[in-house]
Amino acid sequence: MKTEDWAEVYRVLLQKLPAYVRGARLTMCGLSSFLDAYIPLHEAEPLLNAKGGTPQAALSQELLRRASTGIGGEFYLNWPEGEIWVEKTLQFSRWGLGGSGAQAAQMLAVIGAPALMSLEDRSARQLSVIHPNVLVATNRGVVRCGELPMAQGRKPAHYIFEFTAGTQVGSIVPKRSSRTIVRFTDERLDNDPDFIRESIAASATAGGGILSGFNEISEQDIEAALGETVALAQAWRNQGLKTIHLELGDYATAKARDRVLEKLGRTFTSLGMSYSELRALCVGSPDAISKAFELSETLNLSRLCVHADTWASVITNSDPQRELEALLCGCLLASTRAERGQPCWPSGVPANAEFHPVPLEKFSKSGERFIVTCASPYLERPVATIGLGDTFLAGTLLVLGQAEPVSGNILLKNLYMNTTENTIDPGKLRSIQRVTTPDGFFLICALDHLSDFQELLDPDPKTVDYQRTGEAKIELIRSLASECSAFLLDARFGLAQVIASRALPGSVGLMASVEDEDYKPANVQRKTRFRENWSTRQMKLLGIDVCKLLWFYRPDSEVAEHQRGVLRSLVRECAELSLPLVVEPIWFPLEGEDPKSGAWKQRRVRGIVESAHEANSFGVDILKVEFPGYVETEEGRVKALEDCQKLDAGVNVPWMLLSAGVGYEAFKTQVEIACRAGGSGFMAGRSIWRDAASTHDPKKRESAAKDAASRLSELAAVTRQSGRPFAPKLEGKDLVRAFPEFWYANWHR
C-alpha cells in the first residue's frame, strides 16, 4: 500500500469508531496502578547540574544516556530519599495515572467503553487523575470511580522524565522523542481482592483481560505475584474468557523477563510489546520478526503484537482483517494522544502526522499464522510520549473484544449509557427525561443571562434593579413555557422566583448554571468563576434537573490545565449527586489573534469540534456547543455540515446547539444543519427572545413575546424533522442485566 493511502484508511476507521464503542464489552485491566509525575527533562536543571558521586548525578547520567540514544523505557534506582528530593526540587508539568492496565482503562473510559480496573491506592491524589467512568470493584460490587469514597494511605509515585526530538537537554539534542520512567522503590501488584472476585464473575461475558506490572516487582515478591496471577488467569479462562493479554514491559534483566514468560506461559493468549522490547528478545537472532514468530509458536499464542514508532504488526491465527482493524484503532488512539498530550476522542488523523513505509506486507502468511502490518500516524514532535503503548493496547482490545465484528457500512451511535452492569445511573436518566420532550428532543430556552440581559431591558443597566430583572424573566417564561421542554436559569434572578411565582409549569424541566460569568470577551488567563454561595448540592435540593457549566477553554492557553481540572472536579461532584452535567465549551481568541481573519475562523471551527471531543472525554452527560461553521454561503453550509458530522463522530453523549446571539434566521439554519449531523436539539437565548426583552412598550412587548414563542415552535419542528432523539429504553434481558433484583443496595452506598 502507498504511504499516502493510509490516511484514508484511518478516516474510514474513524467513522466506525462509535460503533465499536457501542458494541464494546467489558475489558478487565490489571494488575498494577499508581500515580505518575511528569517532568520535562530539559527543565530539570538541578538534576542535570548535580555534583558527581551523588545519587542525583547517577540519575542524571542514566537519563542523558537514554535521551542521547532515543531509548525510553524504565529503571529502578536504589535511592530511598529520591522521592522526597524530586518532589521538593523539580518542577512537575502534571500528574497522571500510571500502569499499563490502568492507562488502557483510562483510554477506554474516555471514549465511553466499559473498563474494570484494579486499584489499591484510593487516596485523594490517586483518584484525582482517574476518569470518573472507570469501573472499580468494592466489597459492595462494582462502582464508577467518580462514586468511590477516598481512603487514607497511598503508593509511591513514578517519575516520568520526558525528552523531545530537537530540544536540547544538557549537552545533547535528542533525535527521538520518548520518556524514561524512574522508580525509587520496588512495586507490587495491586492488593485488590475485590477486583479478583468481580473480574472472575464478569469474565464469562467480558471482551478481554489485561495482565501487566510484573517488570516492576522485587525479586523477593515476584514468585508469589506470578502464582497469584496464574490462578486468576486460569479462573478467567475457566469462565470462557478468550483474550487474556500480557503487556510485556521493560525489564532490568533478561532473566527476570524470561522468568515471567515461563511462569505465565500458557495462561495468556495474547502478548504485546514495543519494538525495542522485541529487539531485547533477539539476542543471537538478527531477525526480530522471526523471533516473534518463534515466540508465538513456543507460547502457543493466539496473537503477538508489536508497536513501533511508524508501524504496528501482529502475528495471529485469527481473522486477519479484524486484526488489521484492531491495529488501526490502536494506532489512531495512540497518535491522537501523542498529538494532544492526553487520552481523548480522535477528531481525525493528526494534522502533522507522517506515514512511513512499513517493513512488512500488509498481509502475509507463514504456516497457520498470518502477519498483519499497518503504518501508524507518526509525529516527529509529539506533545507527550507516555502511555502511547497502553493507549494502543486499549484500541486493539476495543476491536477484538466485540461480540461480533463491526460492519463497515453501519454507523451506530452510542446511546449515552452503556448497558454494562452498574453503569446506568437511573437518577441522571430520570433528570434528562424531565428536560426532554416525550419523543426525546432538547427544546430548551436559555434565560440564565446576567448583565447582558439587563442591558436589553435598559441601555443603562445600572438603572435595572433586582426586582425588575426578575419580573422580566418571569414574564418571558410565562409567555414561552408552552413551547419548551426546559428552561436554563440562574440562581440570582430566576430559579426560586419562577418556582414560587408558579411561572414555571411542573411539566417543564429546569436547568441551572453553576458559574457567575457571562460571554464577555475572554483572555488567555480567563478561569471559570463559580457563583459564590451556590453549589451543586443546593441545585439538587431545589429540584434542579441538570447543572450547566460555561467552560471557556483553549488547550493552548496558560490556564488550560486549570480549566481541565475544573471540569474533572465538577464531573465527579455531579456524579456523586446523580445530577446530569451539561458543558458549554467556548472558543475564544488569544492575545495577538484576529477573530476577523480567515485563518482564525478556520481554527475556531476546528477548536469547537476538538473542545467538544475533549469535554466529552471527561465524562460529561450532555454538550451545549457553538456552531462549527458559517452559513452565509452554500459552500459554507456544506462545510459546516461536514464539521458538525466530525463533532458528532467524536462524542457519545447527546449534544445541542447554542445560539450565541446570532440572528434568528441564521440560527434556524444552524439548527437544521446540526440536527442533520446528529444533534438532538437546541438551548437558545437571545436569538429567540431578544426583541421581547428589549421592547419597552407593553403591547409591542406582548407581540414580540408571541413572535418568540413562534420561533421556538419553528425550531422544534426543524429539530423533530432532522434531529436524533435521545430516548434510551431498556426492556427484557437488557433491563434485568442493568438493574438486577435489589440493584438499589449498591447505588450511592
- Residues 506-565: pLDDT tens digits? 999 999 999 987 666 556 578 899 999 999 999 999 999 999 999 999 988 889 889 999
Residues above pLDDT 90, as percent of the chain = 66
**Which residues, 6+ apart, have CB-to-CB distance to 509 below 8 Å?**
434, 435, 436, 444, 485, 486, 487, 545, 546
Single-letter residue type at 133: N
Of 581, 574, 583, 631, nearest in space to 608 by CA: 583
Single-letter residue type at 183: R
Report the pLDDT value the prediction gives residue 421, as an integer from 0 to 100.
Answer: 33
How many other CB atoms sit within 10 Å of the CB of residue 691? 18
Residue 8: which H helix or E strand, with range?
helix 6-22
Rounded to whole angstroms, how far apart are CA atoms 495 and 506?
Answer: 13
Q: pLDDT per residue over 690-734, tens digit each?
A: 998 888 888 898 899 999 999 999 999 999 999 999 988 888 887
Query: Which of residues 310 and 3 earns the better pLDDT score?
Result: 310
Integer CA distances (angstroms), 368 to 46, 302, 549, 598, in order? 55, 11, 55, 56
SS3 content of the chain, % helix, strand, coil (to 5): 45, 15, 40
Helices 254-264 and 219-238 cross at an angle (nearest 10°) of 30
Long-range contact list for 53-60, CB < 8 A, 24+ apart? 55/79, 55/81, 55/82, 56/85, 59/182, 60/170
C-alpha 402: how far from its chain's center?
Answer: 20
Integer CA distances (angstroms), 250 to 74, 190, 280, 293, 697, in order? 6, 19, 9, 20, 76
Beta partners for residue 183, in sequence order: 76
Does pLDDT of 168 surpass 90? Answer: yes
Report the pLDDT value the prediction gives residue 423, as an integer from 0 to 100.
Answer: 56
Report the pLDDT value the prediction gives residue 2, as an integer from 0 to 100.
Answer: 56
**Which residues, 6+ apart, have CB-to-CB distance to 100 below 8 Å?**
32, 210, 212, 213, 247, 249, 389, 390, 393
Rounded to whole angstroms, how far apart are CA atoms 233 and 271?
Answer: 14
Cell 466529552 locates to: 616
pLDDT bracket for residue 415 (50, 70, 90): very low
Identify whether the C-beta of residue 383 lies closer than 8 Å to the C-beta of residue 162.
no
Is the sign of the CA dihedral 401, 407, 413, 415 positive or negative? negative
Rounded to whole angstroms, how far apart are CA atoms 202 and 239?
Answer: 9
In the structure grid, which three cell numbers stand for residue 91, read together? 518542577
Identify whether the C-beta of residue 685 lies closer than 8 Å to the C-beta of residue 714.
no
Rounded to whole angstroms, how far apart are CA atoms 496 and 489?
Answer: 10
Report the pLDDT value the prediction gives residue 729, as an integer from 0 to 100.
Answer: 80
pTM of the model: 0.61
Helices first, then strands: H and E counts in the chain: 25, 24
Identify whether the C-beta of residue 27 lies closer than 8 Å to the C-beta of residue 134.
no
Identify whether the C-beta of residue 245 lies closer than 8 Å to the C-beta of residue 393.
yes
**Cis peptide bond prior to 31, omega within 30° of 0:** yes
Long-range contact list for 42-49, CB < 8 A, 24+ apart? 42/163, 42/164, 42/167, 42/168, 42/169, 43/91, 44/90, 44/91, 44/161, 46/89, 46/90, 47/89, 47/90, 48/169, 48/170
Rounded to whole angstroms, how far apart are CA atoms 524 and 742?
Answer: 50
Beta partners for residue 272, in sequence order: 247, 305
Q: pLDDT per residue over 221-235, tens digit each?
A: 899 999 999 999 999
Does pLDDT of 251 surpass 50? Answer: yes
Of 580, 532, 293, nearest in space to 433 by CA: 580
Label each residue of 202-266 as H, E or C. HCCCCCEEEECCHHHECHHHHHHHHHHHHHHHHHHHHCCCCCEEEECCCCCCHHHHHHHHHHHCC
Rounded to whole angstroms, how far apart are CA atoms 251 and 256?
Answer: 7
Report the pLDDT value the prediction gives residue 623, as an integer from 0 to 100.
Answer: 97
Residues above pLDDT 70, as percent of the chain = 95
Rounded to whole angstroms, how far apart are CA atoms 341 and 347?
Answer: 14
**Mean local confidence (pLDDT), 203-219:** 92
pLDDT bracket for residue 738 (50, 70, 90): confident
Q: pLDDT per residue over 561-617, tens digit each?
A: 899 999 999 999 999 999 999 999 999 998 888 989 999 999 999 999 989 988 988
Report the pLDDT value the prediction gives residue 497, as an integer from 0 to 100.
Answer: 95
Single-letter residue type at 195: F
Rounded to whole angstroms, how far apart are CA atoms 497 and 256?
Answer: 69
Q: pLDDT per residue over 421-478, tens digit each?
A: 335 789 999 999 999 999 999 999 999 988 888 888 887 778 889 999 999 999 999 9
Of 717, 667, 656, 670, nearest in space to 690 by CA: 667
Long-range contact list for 590-596, CB < 8 A, 24+ apart? 590/523, 590/524, 590/554, 590/556, 590/557, 591/523, 591/524
Q: pLDDT per residue over 383-412, tens digit each?
A: 888 889 999 999 999 999 997 554 432 222
Rounded to whole angstroms, how far apart are CA atoms 558 and 537?
Answer: 30
Rounded to whole angstroms, how far apart are CA atoms 690 and 704?
Answer: 9
Report the pLDDT value the prediction gives residue 627, as an integer from 0 to 100.
Answer: 97
**Mean local confidence (pLDDT), 662-685:** 95
pLDDT bracket for residue 416 (50, 70, 90): very low
Label each residue of 114-145 as H, E or C. CEEECCCCCCHHHHCCCCCCCEEEECCEEEEH
**Mean local confidence (pLDDT), 634-652:** 88
Single-letter residue type at 723: G
What is the three-class DSSP state of 269?
A: coil
Q: Is 732 exposed, middle or buried (0-12, 13-18, 19+ CB in 10 A)?
A: exposed
Single-letter residue type at 2: K
Does pLDDT of 493 surpass 90? Answer: yes
Rounded to whole angstroms, how far apart are CA atoms 625 and 660?
Answer: 10
Identify whether the C-beta of residue 529 lies closer than 8 Å to the C-beta of residue 517.
yes
Rounded to whole angstroms, how far apart are CA atoms 613 and 471?
Answer: 38
